[in-house]
Chain A
Amino acid sequence: MAIQSFGERPVIDADIGGSNGRIGQPIHIQLLDFFGETQLGPIYLGVWGAIAFISGSMFAFIWLMTMFAQVGYNPVAFVKYFAVLQIDPPSAAYGLQWAPFNQGGWWLTSTFFLTLSLLAWEMRLWTRALAHNIKPYLAYGFSSALALYLVIYIFRPMAMGNWSEAPSHGIKALLDWTNNVSVRYGNFYYNPFHMVSIFFLLGSTVLLSMHGATVWSAEKFGAHEEIAEIEAPGTGTERAQLLWRWVMGFNANAYSIHLWAFWFAWLMGITGAIGIFISGTLVHDWFKWAIEAGVNYPQLPYPNVSVPPPPPLPTVVPPGM
């Protein structure tokens, strides 16, 4: 890894607030020592950060105040019913039109601010990486989460022609939307993009555990100093590689494991976004789709019915019969 300065890259941001755009003084909390660095702060604001924080706060303010109004500004009722209160999008009758505030207008307004906040956050990740002369991989990665959000809240409702397709803002409301979308389109478990997305979700957890545990176990050999170990692998990385080679016949290296990590996490969001976008627009019944595609067959009733006798065997009898 040739370390060389190529000079400044242009950054579309301005250091507003604090000194050089940074707010607060670094403080040290000794309690954090087990988990990592003890230094907390400072944090950068800048234009994109300001847009992200302000519009994010606007979303939270509209969301919370609308729900607070729903319980007549009674603070006890607000806490009691917090998880079940929600702001609904306009009903299907409004299509993609504006709706009065109490009939979905607050949802449109708050979603506008939420979307603006997330887009500004993406710009913040991008411009901060350029400012520190590192490649904006985190912005690439966040694009996956952004795609999933935009498909669920913006693109798919637009493709379906009304905002009521989007989830309401609320804790129970989000769970209900997830549940309903599965039931409405036949059975989401038969959506192949859902299958692949779940694979990457669980696969990401496995990879995180494998990588974290491997490096933690080789900490005493310096394997956690990954930038140095990528440039010049030492005994820690060698042992970590042999561990997986001896366990499963294959190993990554200190650099390539992070490629695996990045792509697993990125593909989780992207495949999920595709699977949701085509539900209701291209495919209306995933159960029927799976039967037509030949990956599922009309199922025997559940549970514990006796299996019908096997069909006549082919001429070649497989081993173990």
Chain B
Amino acid sequence: MSAVVLDGSRSTRVIGGRTLAQIEADFRKPGRTFFGDIFGFDPFDFWVGPFFVGLWGVTAILGIIIGVYFYADAVIFHGPYSYAQNFIAGRLVPPPAAVGLGLAAPGTEGFKWQMTVLFASLTFFSWMMRQADICRKLELGYHVPLSYSVVFSAWLTLQVVRPIAMGRWSEGFVLGVLPHLDWIIEFGYRYNNFFYNPFHALGITGLFTSTLLLGMHGSAILSATQCRSADPEASLHNFWRDIVGYSIGEDGIHRLATLVAAGAVLVSNLCILSSGWLVKDWVGFWLFWNNLPWWRGV
């Protein structure tokens, strides 16, 4: 199998594991941050409680505070209902179509939406970079920030890329707990029937496949740790081969998991981006199928 384990890693195993204090004492050390590597010093290289801060932690906190301020100001404190009702039903809408791709002036509709989206994007980007910083500190691969970048790309597709492709910010996602559900159902029927969007079908398939894989992997490990045989790993391999004829193995399942989950989200990005920009009617879209030259007359 392709996974190569560094010498000495396996010998660090301690039955029952070490305490958190012992582990933290080994790993909580300054250095190995992007900022420090570039400038030679890093004033943000510290922890607050369990959280690592770093440069990207500071920008993330700033983005969270300012973004939440704009969101809460518009949705909760200036919403049409009581504060408690606004928390659930309050909505934050993008600028009107007349604004196009311009910036809404402060005080006009859509300004707070643009600010919330801007600072949320800053926070999501910072969060990703902070994960990368932490991966460097722990000498891990960049798989976690790369996976996070995929879900960040879904946010960017909805709120930035598609509105730019359509030429107006009003295409952006309505923010709010229940109003965002209204936006989804309205978006689905605006293009006639979203269920006929093939990328939507593939995206949903990816989400269900991810849930299936998660259930399969979780139950496999739980069942092998509650095991009556002398060799749980061999039992697990034989179990999967008996059931489906193939056992992917312990490193393979994590690689497949990462790729399937990322693929589901990337295909979903296509389904959002193509709606309205490339295809206006997902029912009419399929007319091409009946008119393919090799079976037009059938």
Residues of A within 8 A of B (CB): 1, 3-7, 9, 22, 24, 26, 33-37, 39-44, 74, 76-77, 79-80, 124-125, 128-129, 131-138, 140-142, 144-145, 172, 175-176, 178-179, 182, 187, 189-190, 195, 200-202, 204-222, 224-243, 245-250, 253, 255, 258-266, 268, 290, 294-297, 299-300, 302-304, 306-308, 310-311, 318, 320-321
The answer to the question of B207 belonging to the interface, with a C-beta cut-off of 8 Å to chain A, is yes
The answer to the question of B243 belonging to the interface, with a C-beta cut-off of 8 Å to chain A, is yes
Question: A42 contacts B241, CB within 8 Å?
Answer: yes
The answer to the question of B153 belonging to the interface, with a C-beta cut-off of 8 Å to chain A, is no
Question: B254 contacts A215, CB within 8 Å?
Answer: yes
A296-B89 contact given A134-B236, A134-B239, A213-B143, CB 8 Å threshold = yes
Partner of B130, one of A247, A264, A268: A247
- Whole-angstrom CA separation of A5 from B232 in the bound complex: 11
Q: A158 to nearest B CB, angstroms? A: 25
- Chain B 238-261 near chain A by CB (<8 Å), digits 1 or 0: 110111111111111111111111
**Which residues of chain A are within 8 angstroms of B222 by Cβ–Cβ distance?**
135, 137, 258-259, 262
The answer to the question of B79 belonging to the interface, with a C-beta cut-off of 8 Å to chain A, is yes
Question: A132 contacts B225, CB within 8 Å?
Answer: no
Question: Smallest CB-CB separation from A257: which chain B residue?
Answer: B218
- Whole-angstrom CA separation of A224 from B143 in the bound complex: 14
Question: A216 contacts B27, CB within 8 Å?
Answer: no
- Interface residues of A, dominant DSSP: helix
24 residue pairs bridging A and B, Cβ less than 8 Å apart:
A3-B229, A3-B232, A35-B248, A43-B245, A74-B298, A80-B298, A137-B220, A137-B223, A205-B265, A209-B261, A211-B214, A212-B143, A215-B251, A222-B5, A227-B221, A227-B225, A232-B17, A233-B18, A238-B12, A245-B50, A246-B51, A297-B81, A299-B179, A318-B83
**Which residues of chain A are within 8 angstroms of B174 by Cβ–Cβ distance?**
302-303
Q: A172 to nearest B CB, angstroms? A: 8
Interface residues of B in 105-156 (CB under 8 A from A): 109, 127, 130-131, 134-135, 137-144, 146-147, 150-151
**Which residues of chain A are within 8 angstroms of B216 by Cβ–Cβ distance?**
138, 141
Question: A250 contacts B214, CB within 8 Å?
Answer: no
Question: A265 contacts B228, CB within 8 Å?
Answer: no
**Which residues of chain B are within 8 angstroms of A9 by Cβ–Cβ distance?**
228
Question: Smallest CB-CB separation from B82: which chain A residue?
Answer: A311
Residues of B within 8 A of A (CB): 1-6, 9-18, 23-24, 26-27, 47, 49-52, 69, 72-73, 77-83, 85, 88-89, 91, 93-97, 109, 127, 130-131, 134-135, 137-144, 146-147, 150-151, 170, 174, 178-179, 181-186, 193, 195-196, 201, 206-208, 210-233, 235-239, 241-262, 264-265, 289-290, 294-295, 298
Known: A179-B195, A224-B254. 14 other contacts (CB 8 A): A3-B227, A44-B243, A133-B229, A134-B227, A141-B216, A201-B211, A208-B257, A230-B225, A233-B17, A242-B27, A246-B134, A247-B127, A297-B85, A299-B179
Q: B46 to nearest A CB, angstroms? A: 11
Question: B147 contacts A209, CB within 8 Å?
Answer: yes
Q: Residue among A132, A179, A208, A248 with the most chain B CB within 10 A? A: A208
**Which residues of chain B are within 8 angstroms of A229 by Cβ–Cβ distance?**
13
Partner of A125, one of B135, B236, B243: B243
Question: B5 contacts A187, CB within 8 Å?
Answer: no
Question: B139 contacts A306, CB within 8 Å?
Answer: no
Question: B147 contacts A210, CB within 8 Å?
Answer: yes
**Which residues of chain B are within 8 angstroms of A236 by Cβ–Cβ distance?**
9
Question: B257 contacts A320, CB within 8 Å?
Answer: no
**Which residues of chain B are within 8 angstroms of A302 by Cβ–Cβ distance?**
174, 182-183, 186
Question: B227 contacts A133, CB within 8 Å?
Answer: yes
**Which residues of chain B are within 8 angstroms of A262 by Cβ–Cβ distance?**
215, 218-219, 222
Question: Smallest CB-CB separation from A26: which chain B residue?
Answer: B241
Question: B215 contacts A265, CB within 8 Å?
Answer: yes
Q: Residue among A125, A207, A213 with the most chain B CB within 10 A? A: A213
Question: A36 contacts B140, CB within 8 Å?
Answer: no
Partner of A5, one of B50, B220, B229: B229
Question: Smallest CB-CB separation from A22: which chain B residue?
Answer: B242
**Which residues of chain A are within 8 angstroms of B195 by Cβ–Cβ distance?**
175-176, 178-179
Question: Smallest CB-CB separation from B232: which chain A residue?
Answer: A227
Question: A304 contacts B255, CB within 8 Å?
Answer: no
A133-B140 contact given A232-B15, A234-B9, CB 8 Å threshold = no
Question: Smallest CB-CB separation from B24: which chain A residue?
Answer: A242
- Whole-angstrom CA separation of A286 from B161 in the bound complex: 33
Q: B183 to nearest A CB, angstroms? A: 8
- Whole-angstrom CA separation of A68 from B172 in the bound complex: 45
Q: Residue among A79, A261, A310 with the most chain B CB within 10 A? A: A261
Question: A233 contacts B239, CB within 8 Å?
Answer: no
Q: B93 to nearest A CB, angstroms? A: 6
Partner of B23, one of A125, A224, A228, A238: A238
A321-B219 contact given A205-B211, A255-B225, A295-B178, CB 8 Å threshold = no
Question: B243 contacts A124, CB within 8 Å?
Answer: yes
**Which residues of chain A are within 8 angstroms of B81 by Cβ–Cβ distance?**
297, 311
A216-B143 contact given A134-B223, A221-B9, A228-B13, CB 8 Å threshold = yes
**Which residues of chain B are within 8 angstroms of A209 by Cβ–Cβ distance?**
147, 150-151, 210, 257-258, 261-262
Question: Smallest CB-CB separation from B109: which chain A residue?
Answer: A306
Q: B52 to nearest A CB, angstroms? A: 4
Question: B80 contacts A141, CB within 8 Å?
Answer: no
A320-B13 contact given A218-B140, A296-B88, CB 8 Å threshold = no
